[in-house]
Chain A
Amino acid sequence: MKILIVEDEPKTRDYLRKGLSEEGWIAEVASTGPEGLYLAQTGMYDAVILDVMLPGLDGFGLLQQLRKDCATPVIMLTARDQVDDRVRGLRGGADDYLVKPFSFLELLARLDLMVRRHQPQTTADLQIGDLHIDFIARRVTRQARRLSLTAKEFALLEVLARRRSHIVSKTAIAELVWDINFDTNTNVVEVAVKRLRAKLEQPGEEKLLHTVRGMGYTLEPRGEAVAE
């Protein structure tokens, strides 16, 4: 997957490129509006990350030019979060926007959503270590042990399992599991993950559900056992 990052702030540009490359994207960068427009029109990208404040040609102008002959999904970055800016960006053909300061995980989650929309992929079942999830029967088994999960616990596991080995942030979990799209300072997600983990990992079994401090959670086998 190929992505173009149009951003004039060097630090932001560099960490975006580094982070996206590590996530398996082929990331290219442009630091001015005209350069970004030229690359976007000629480079056959799967997605574009576009900053609003750019030298030469601002994000709105670039998008307007780009949309004349190109439907590449565009996510806009803006430090201004007033609704007029957003409406302008979305009307101008942006597919999504992110307000600075944003977390890198949120950007990944959105890119994931944006790209998945183009290429829907559903799997009927998943095997993660010795954990088996059957999405159609909604059955979860660990070795021979059948896990009894509530609907929300299953939804939480599904969100983590479909993004296996990726860190999923708490806000993304709240959004995807509970359809809650506002900031809460509550520890709902922590408690819910704690409960899921208790059902998922019996003493002596391998740890699957990991907490990444300050970022979120990830589901993957790492070969660590839960202490007795």
Chain B
Amino acid sequence: MPQPPFQAQAAPAAAPEAPDETLQLIAPDGTVTRPDRLPDPETRVRLYRHMRRVRHFDERAWVLYRTGRMGVFPPYGGMEASQVGTAAALTPDDWLFPTYRDTGAALTYGLPLEQTIAYWRTSPHGWAMPQNLKILPFYIPIATQYPQAVGAALAERRLGTRNVAMAYIGDGGSSEGDFHEALNFAGALNAPCVFILQNNGWAISVPTHTQTRARNLARRADGYGLPGVRVDGNDVLATYQVTREAVTRARNGEGPTLIETVTYRVKPHTVADDPSRYRSEADTAGWDAKDPLTRLRTHLLQEGLLTEEEDHAFAREIEAEFEAALRVADSFPEPTPAEIVDHVFAEPTPQLVRQRAQLLAEEQA
């Protein structure tokens, strides 16, 4: 094992942004507000295609749920810029620790469509993450993945790589103890981590202002000696730029960053949730005008980086891609009862061997 550039007590890098600024590169109407920081045209088009593709998944997942072809699914529609811009800053050698609402991030990182569909159908074929990616299954317990990302990041340093770990959380999740422990560990041990805090306004029925007295969640980084960055979470160019910078700092051994993406959960908590019980349509209406996909599309059309024809062609392309993946997912066989006791230990205990035999006997009876 090579000696890594690991310094347990290295000083953290200075904050790259004023913590109270919410960085935005293009306004909701598509006009450029910070030309100095725009990603190159190819990247802008790439980010648009990612967003369009993951929006299609979100929309199709709803339909599939309603027709009994998908399990309970937590939608992310409206948050594509927050997820795509951050995940697009990684390579497959980096780690991604997604929560249950981060299907868009996982797809952007490279999780295959058929596997993602299978995952939300609760098929075991969706659960074994691909060998060539470093992504974990969507985390259901809130915030537990944060300390784990710190560990993966530290391990990469110990193994002598420049790979980083990125973990997602929501505004509600940032109330959990594990969130705070992880930020403190990452700072104290100088772990190459990028923490994405998607402030989407709601933890199921609880709005952020009831969740916490804090009004700027990026500032929570201050308490742990980390840079905290606040970014318009509906501006994919902004989320991409700040994440890429944070990833670069982490790769260079300059330590972890907390990024707060200020966005909104336009959709319900899950497909089984009824948000009319806790919020009005007026709460959400303003956010439709900030739609991340429309914003970038307008920008690209204005800049001549995309034509209507190309956009339509692309829509047909992603539709065909999804339907092909759905057919593959449909072909995955259902698990057998004996699979309940598989994959507990490398070698099953005598107790598990007996329980498996019982399941098989009952299956055959």
- Whether A and B are associated in the same complex: the answer reads no
**What residues of chain A have their CB less than 8 Å away from a CB belonging to chain B?**
none
